[in-house]
Amino acid sequence: MVALFDSLAAATGSIYVRIPRTWPGLKHLFTLIMSFTFLCLVMGLWSGTLQLLGATLLTYFLAATFRGHTMPWIVFTAVMGHLTISHIYRALNKTAYETFEISGPQMVLTMKLTTFAWNVFDGRRPVEELDAWQKKNRVVKFPSLLEFLGYAILVGPSLEYMTYASLIDGSLFASSQSGDKGRYVPRGRKRVAYTKLLIGFISLGIYVSFSGSYTFQVASADAWLSKSPFMRIMELQLMGTIERCKYYAVWLLAEVRSTIIIRGFLRILPQGAAILTGLGFDGYTATGGSRWSGAANVDILEIELPSSPKTYFDAWNMKTNIWLRETIYKRVARKGKKPGFKSTMCTFVTSAFWHGIGFGYYLAFVYGGFVSAVARQCRRTLRPYFVSDTNSSHATHSKRLYDIMGTISTTLAINFAAAPFFFSRLQEALEIWKRVNWYGLWMIGVPYIFFTFFKTSHTTSEKKKEVKGQISPSSAELSARSTPEPFTVVPVDTMISKRS
């Protein structure tokens, strides 16, 4: 089946890139025809395709009809609720993880439809209220039904509507220069594709070679308990790496072999852009070489040697992280306020429900939310003691020590969080944590309680000092007032500036 997909993907991709830019309608029709061909004729998902089409048409109607700030949340509730029903149906039928059915493509479609709703909403807002990402992807001109179906029904990859539109009209390659003039798709994509192909096969080889001995399923066996607690914790780190190699292989190989038609038709969904169709193009380097970072979904080095949880989360499943950041993390924060703990937890809980209804998902992502919150506090509180603006050798060594400590602690926490992800039953997920003496809960729980208490007591103390300084101005400031008016509180910064 994979070989069939590869052959069809290569053929359709070659045809697609040769459709003239002056025929955008034909491109939309091509994506629609090929999407229905793969979904219905190849995969036999007739009823599932109707579900995808229904969710797409509903989103189009809601985005066109409702113009208030609640529109994106209405779309989110509708499509996320539909996805959750599919997850429940899958769980009740005890469908195997490897079985391909409609919830896989539906996960990608959920990302696209909710992102589109926010992009339309941003297009109706004043430009000065938007950040850089929102300005770049805002939808000002509402698309026709054919344009929207071409964007949505192709299911994958997860991309913004304006990116799809720029691929259709060729403006994605408008910055073409340095010898690529006259070419529709810039040079260099095959070199990048073959490199990723090699790395993908290496990752697959590592997983196949060691999955029998170092996966989280092995940790659930009774024989694993015969090892010492220290060895179990160390092996858990190796298990995390081996398990991730499976995802590296799937994402990288699909990134190479997939066209914009086929993406999303695997149960383990690749979210990166398809290099071979040119969608991964990301401009040019200073020397004139083409960049293809837009196709990246993982950064293996940053994942395996992360300096912080943020580094890890930014490098893992990048397209999903962008979706969560732009549709949840930023949007639940109050206007004018920076996202905080509430935004973090809402984001991780949403990610858990998006993945499925297994208790292992909830444990993994809720724990990940606390990891992110504690890491933010550690950076704010501890980093100044290790990192300074000076270039002395002592400062350099301190920074290096801080980075090493960050890599070790992040790796320990992330692999602890990843373990329950592969177990749907709560008892099985907790048993894995129990077998490594709950070390991750101690790592995060103790500093979280400390920072919570320290922040509360520190804030209370600072407020007392501030109030005391405000209501007790010195006699010099009182006598300096030129006009005898009723007593008013002098701002602290004004008092300081006068003294200086």
Higher pLDDT, 412 or 490: 412
Residue 37 has pLDDT above 50, yes or no: yes
Q: What is the pLDDT of residue 269?
A: 34
Confidence tier at 184 by pLDDT (50, 70, 90): low
pLDDT given for residue 183 in this prediction: 55
195 has pLDDT over 70:
yes
Q: How far is CA 20 from CA 23, 165, 167, 485, in A?
A: 6, 14, 12, 77
* DSSP H/E element including 492: helix 492-499
Structure tokens at 61: 């109607």
Dist CA 408 CA 436 (whole Å) = 16
Per-residue exposure over 340-370, b if at least 16 CB sit within 10 Å of its own CB, e if not: eeebbbbbbbbbbbbbbbbbbbbbbbbbbbb
* Res 495: pLDDT: 38
Q: Residues 472-500: what's their mean pLDDT? A: 41
Per-residue DSSP letters for 324-371?
HIIIIITTSSPTTS---HHHHHHHHHHHHHHH-S-HHHHHHHHHHHHH
Return the pLDDT at 11.
56
Q: What is the predicted pLDDT for the residue at 14?
A: 61
Band of pLDDT at residue 277, cut at 50, 70 and 90 = low
The DSSP letter of residue 489 is P
| pLDDT tens per residue across span 67-91 | 899 999 999 999 999 999 999 988 8
pLDDT digits (tens, 9 = 90+) for 423-458: 878 899 999 999 999 999 999 999 999 888 876 554
Better-predicted residue by pLDDT, 227 or 34: 227
**Domain-wise residue ranges, the chain:** 22-169, 177-298, 310-468
Interatomic CA distance for residues 243 and 237, integer angstroms: 10
Q: Average pLDDT, stretch 464-491?
A: 43
Candidate from 291-305, 363-377, 484-498 with smallest mean pLDDT:
484-498
Q: What is the DSSP secondary structure assignment for residue 264, as one 8-state letter? A: T
Query: Between residues 94 and 178, which one has the greater pLDDT?
Result: 94
Q: What is the pLDDT of residue 459?
A: 45
CB 250 within 8 A of CB 268: yes
pLDDT band at 254 (very low <50, low <70, confident <90, very high): low
In 3D space, the residue among 374, 353, 363, 361 whose CA is nearest the CA of residue 433 turns out to be 363
Block residue for tokens 């061909």: 37
pLDDT score of 96: 66
Does residue 471 register a pLDDT over 50? Answer: no
* Residue 235: its H or E element: helix 229-257
Please give the backbone phi and psi of residue 45, each rounded to the nearest 5 degrees, phi first.
Answer: -95, 65
* Residue 29: count of CB within 10 angstroms of its CB: 15
Listed in sequence order, the DSSP H helices in 66-188 are: 71-92, 103-123, 132-137, 145-152, 161-169
Residue 212 tokens read as: 């029998």
- Per-residue pLDDT at 474: 46
Tell me, what's the pLDDT at 272?
Answer: 34
Mean of pLDDT over the chain = 79
